[in-house]
Amino acid sequence: KLSQIILLRHGEPALDKKGWRKRKEAMQFIEAYDSVGVYTPRSMPLIIKSDEIEVIFTSSLYRSISTADQLFNRTEDQRPKPIYREFERKIFTFPNIKLPLKWWLTISRVLWFSGLNKKGIESFSEAKSRAKMAKELLEKNADKDGKVLLVSHGLLNHYLVKYLVKNGWEEV
């Protein structure tokens, strides 16, 4: 029996990511980003027969749930789980000056990776440990059901692929 784990990144959040923002506005963006749905996709990234997958796992963040809703229209089959949420982030402490939003987000993430921006949120090592637990949960479900679909997030998916390949899975 062939087991498959399909990882799908959520769609584009229905939010304007352009422009310059002050720190508080960048913080508000992060909060909104974690609560908005996604734009309607132009095309289907994946075609799944109705009987091919019993359960659609998603992150508990709305952009993943919204993506699964729009792509598969099987709300009753969705299983949102916090273990599949994106690696946490927060805007770094800095004077409230205007910077491009991309700078706020990038610098915040780099500082978080280096352990300097983790107060009040999970650390990078904690996030990687959560990704390892998520990998085990996906493997367990793939062993049981044969094919598993997860709609989640970019960084989490990156680490899931890394850990799955390390555990003998083939990336396609």
pLDDT confidence band for 31 (50 / 70 / 90): very high
Q: How confident is the model over 99-109, as pLDDT tens digits? A: 999 999 999 99
Quick one: pLDDT band at residue 52, thresholds 50, 70, 90?
confident
Number of residues written out for the chain: 172
Report the helix count and the strand count for the chain, using DSSP H and E.
5, 6
b/e per residue 8-19 (b: at least 16 CB within 10 A): bbbbebeeeeee
CA distance 157 to 159: 5
And the tokens for 111?
């500082």
* pTM, rounded to two decimals: 0.91
Q: Per residue in 119-142, pLDDT tens?
A: 999 999 999 999 999 999 999 999
